[in-house]
Amino acid sequence: MNPTPSLVIHELLPSEMMGVIFEEHAKLEWMAPAIDGQVCRFWREIVLNTPRAWSYIEIRYGCHPSMGELRLWLRRSGTAPLHIDCHSEILYGILSYHHTRIVSLQATNGSKSIFEGRDFPRMQHLSISHWYPFQWGSMPKLQSLRLYTARRCVVPLRGLPPLKMLTLACFQCTSVLWHSQSLTTLMLYDMSLVDVISGPVTFPSLTYLSLYNVRDLKPHINAPCLVTYHESGSTVDESFYIPLPSLVEYGVSYLSTSSLDPAEWHLYFPNILRVSLRARQDVLLSFLAFLANHPQSFPALRTICAPVVGYYLPEKIYKNMESLVLARNEVCDVHVVLPLEKTGPPFCIPIFFARVCDLSIRRSCDLLMHILGTGRWSLKTFRSRVLTCSLSPPKL
């Protein structure tokens, strides 16, 4: 008796499920539908009838599709919501014709050629690396805004709908507090606030906060649901308006001995589970010595990440740090983990701090978007290294 031939995947799954798989593949690699469509005529037919698989488009400097290829891609996407990652202004004109379908846009420049005089009724996520002032289009569904500029210009936010995620770098900003009731994630880098803050401001939904070289905001923040907070050493001397018992992850970059005050941290963050400190070895030793000598502080602490500024950690200092942690563990009858990077840069701060403490805002925001589920940069990077297909989409 001849064995029953094995079924292939499109014989096991309905076309609708195959379409979902092709769309998920496109999220990892935007050229995936053109690649998948070459497997066999069945896959080609399903891919061509799955508009959402064609709705993820990347355009890079020096290696972008031709205008004809981009028009073909957009035509195959039908009326599906578009997710655009565009780093070349050459093709802005074509994309502008589809502005009503754009849900997510990452662009290098906030060019007037795509924004001026247009509404974006579906836009939910907007990220611009080099922002230049322009009139906001109508974006009634905008939830996430990320802006970076090389110039310290003023960005007004009052004309936007209440945001859930806001990331700004190198701006003078007005109306940040207008979004306080809706924000769940706030990341500010080298910012100056134009608004005068006269009293406490409540952020009822805020769970993720990063302040890097941003002063005079932290003392006014009341965030009862805050889970993760990291800051630069320049704001450590400021205190929150009230203690934050919900906070479980705290990180500081470039902490100095003069600003180290673990007793105050215990007062404001009594339930910390994980701490990440980027500092000189003497500062780290002081912090670990405090923990060993005050076992009643930070009773929930389980992880201390201590990347050393200076890129070199002598073996003797490393052993000293380990012994202090061991002493703490024995007194408290707990197991505190001390990840230490001894081999030099780049330091691997745990992912729960999103690397904001020691990387530029542009790279950290990419990682944050990955954590929030809007991108998969690590998988995409890996795939781009192993695929040997041409850059231009294969013809179907």
The tens digit of pLDDT for each residue in 183-229 reads 999 988 888 887 778 889 999 999 999 988 888 899 999 999 999 99
Tell me which of 56 and 369 has the higher pLDDT: 56
**Model confidence over 92-118: pLDDT tens digits?**
778 878 889 999 998 877 666 777 778
Residue 284: exposure state from Cβ atoms within 10 A (0-12, 13-18, ≥19): buried
> Percent of the chain beyond pLDDT 90?
25
Contact 196, 175 (CB under 8 A): no
**Across all residues in the chain, what is the average pLDDT?**
78
Residue 369's pLDDT is what? 42
Lowest mean pLDDT among 17-21, 146-150, 332-336, 392-396: 392-396
Q: What is the pLDDT of residue 375?
A: 39
In the structure, what pLDDT confidence band is assigned to residue 353 with cuts at 50, 70 and 90?
very low
Mean pLDDT of 53-82: 84
Instruction: List beta partners, residue 255.
Output: 279
CB 281 within 8 A of CB 308: yes
Q: What are the DSSP calls for 241-255, one per residue?
A: SS--TT--EEEEEEE
Residues 6+ positions from 213 with CB-CB distance below 8 Å: 189, 190, 191, 232, 234, 235
Query: What contacts 340, CB < 8 A, 6 or more positions away?
Result: 306, 307, 308, 313, 318, 321
| Contacts for 179 with CB less than 8 Å, ≥ 6 apart | 157, 160, 162, 163, 166
Name all contacts of 145-152 with Cβ < 8 Å and 24+ positions apart: 146/365, 147/110, 147/171, 148/361, 148/362, 152/192
Which residues neighbour 14 within 8 Å (Cβ) at sequence distance 6 or greater?
none
At residue 38, the 3 state secondary structure works out as coil
Written as six digits, the tokens of 11 are 């014989």
Mean pLDDT (whole number) for 295-321 = 79
pLDDT tens profile 222-268: 999 999 998 888 889 899 999 999 999 998 888 888 888 999 999 99
Question: Are 218 and 235 within 8 A, CB to CB?
Answer: yes
CA atoms within 13 A on the CB side of 58: 18
Cα–Cα distances in angstroms (integers) from residue 321 to residues 32, 340, 352, in the given order: 48, 9, 22
Confidence bin at 342 (pLDDT 50/70/90): very low
| 343 compared with 337, residue with greater pLDDT | 337
Measured distance CA(127)–CA(204) in Å, rounded: 25
247's CB contacts (< 8 A; 6+ apart) are: 226, 227, 228, 229, 268, 269, 271, 272
- Looking at the DSSP bridge assignments, the partners of residue 313 are none
364 three-class SS:
helix
Tokens read off for 113: 């050629």
Q: How far, in Å, CA of 166 to CA of 154, rounded?
A: 15
